[in-house]
């Protein structure tokens, strides 16, 4: 029996992936600080924080692979990003090491390289980090931790730079970055099944006609995407029009997160000054 621990199991992605990853011969162990609804699929539910080493070690017992989705999935001030995303990823990897879990799949993000421009052709999965936010920095740290745990301790770690994993793309940028839930599950399956991946960084996107990112690295792991955001393009264009290619939304991989509204340090300072 294979057991997969999914952290952040109450979240949007896990909710989309859970039914797609459930199968005979596999137990899903679902961990979150929030309530995870039972699903009648025999899943094991664990209420714990990814920052709690003892709880994470217990949650890792008997686990073959971890899909680490837990954490803050948008921009926040530095302290919570440090605690939940950076320390929480350290605890997850260290608990995996202590419990003898062989493989960990990390939910990195396009925001790890958000300031990379979109005009210079397909962005490879080994593009050097250019994070756009505190959140983006936490994903760079996630990848660095994964690399260190692979090289030093022999864990097999695949970090997926996820684009936009939702039921449907929501705007022109997401036509470029969309990862359909079905392709998301296909990619996770490939990451779980790949023989001896060592440490890899791959892009998590569907086979989108208007793509920005390379799927070569994910395909090398065995990923065979089957969806294309293009079927939503006409409707989105009719509803929203064509965005200015010079706007941050379209100019950078990180989209609007590269715009002035996302100056978290400046906002944090202003908040301190009004205390
Ligand atoms: N959805 C996307 O398009 C996308 C894109 C890039 C990266 N990602 C990453 O994928 C992961 C999942 O994304 P999502 O959209 O499902 O996010 P989400 O916010 O919907 O879910 C995150 C889950 O993590 C849980 N969580 C938060 N703090 C925790 C803690 N201390 N201990 C345990 N659980 C905790 C939350 O309760 C929540 O259920 C995140 O790491 C996110 O950064 C998602």
Verify whether ligand 1 is closer than 6 Å to residue 197 (CB atom).
no
10 touches ligand 1 (CB under 6 Å) = yes
Determine the Cα–Cα distance for residues 106 and 158; give it in Å rounded to an integer: 6
Q: Cα–chain-centroid distance for residue 8?
A: 11
Q: Is 135 a catalytic residue?
A: yes
pTM: 0.98
Q: Specify which residues 203 forms β-bridges with.
A: 161
Q: Which residue is it, tokens 């509204």? A: 261
Q: Is the pLDDT reported for residue 270 higher than 90?
A: yes
CATH number of 2-273: 3.40.50.720
List pLDDT tens digits, range 11-49. Answer: 999 999 999 999 999 999 999 999 999 888 899 999 999
pLDDT score for 38: 83
Token output for 5? 């621990």
DSSP class of 129 = P
How many angstroms separate the CA atoms of 229 and 213, rounded?
14
Q: How far is the CA of 8 from the centre of ligand 1 (A)?
A: 5
Percent of the chain clearing pLDDT 70 (strictly above): 100
The confidence score (pLDDT) of residue 8 equals 98
Contact criterion met (CB below 8 Å) for 218 and 189: no
Gap from CA of 225 to ligand 1 centroid (Å): 23
Pairing of strands 44-47, 2-7: unpaired
Which among 118, 164, 113 has a CA at the least distance from the CA of 139? 113
**CB of 89 closer than 6 A to ligand 1?**
no
Domain ranges of the chain: 2-273
Report the separation in Å between the CA atom of 274 and the middle of ligand 1, taken as the mean of its atom positions. Answer: 31
């Amino acid at each position: 029996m294979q057991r997969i621990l999914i952290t952040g199991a109450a979240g949007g992605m896990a909710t989309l992936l859970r039914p797609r990853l459930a199968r005979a011969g596999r137990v899903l162990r679902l961990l979150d600080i929030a309530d995870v609804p039972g699903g009648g699929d025999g899943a094991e539910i664990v209420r714990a924080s990814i920052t709690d080493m003892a709880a994470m070690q217990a949650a890792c017992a008997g686990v073959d692979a971890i899909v680490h989705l837990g954490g803050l999935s948008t921009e926040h001030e530095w302290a919570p990003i440090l605690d939940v995303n950076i320390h929480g990823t350290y605890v997850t990897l260290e608990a995996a090491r202590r419990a003898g879990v062989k493989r960990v799949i990390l939910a990195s993000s396009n925001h790890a390289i958000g300031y990379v421009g979109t005009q210079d052709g397909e962005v490879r999965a080994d593009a050097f980090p250019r994070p756009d936010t505190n959140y983006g920095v936490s994903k760079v740290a996630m990848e660095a931790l994964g690399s260190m745990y692979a090289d030093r301790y022999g864990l097999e770690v695949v970090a997926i730079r996820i684009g936009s994993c939702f039921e449907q793309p929501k705007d022109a940028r997401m036509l470029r970055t969309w990862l359909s839930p079905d392709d998301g599950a296909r990619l996770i399956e490939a990451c779980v099944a790949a023989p001896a991946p060592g440490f890899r960084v791959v892009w998590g996107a569907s086979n989108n006609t208007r793509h920005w990112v390379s799927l070569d690295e994910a395909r090398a792991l065995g990923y065979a995407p089957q969806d294309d955001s293009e079927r939503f393009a006409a409707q989105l264009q009719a509803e929203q029009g064509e965005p200015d290619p010079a706007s941050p939304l379209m100019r950078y991989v990180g989209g609007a997160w590269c715009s002035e509204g996302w100056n978290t340090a400046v906002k944090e300072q202003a908040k301190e000054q009004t205390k």
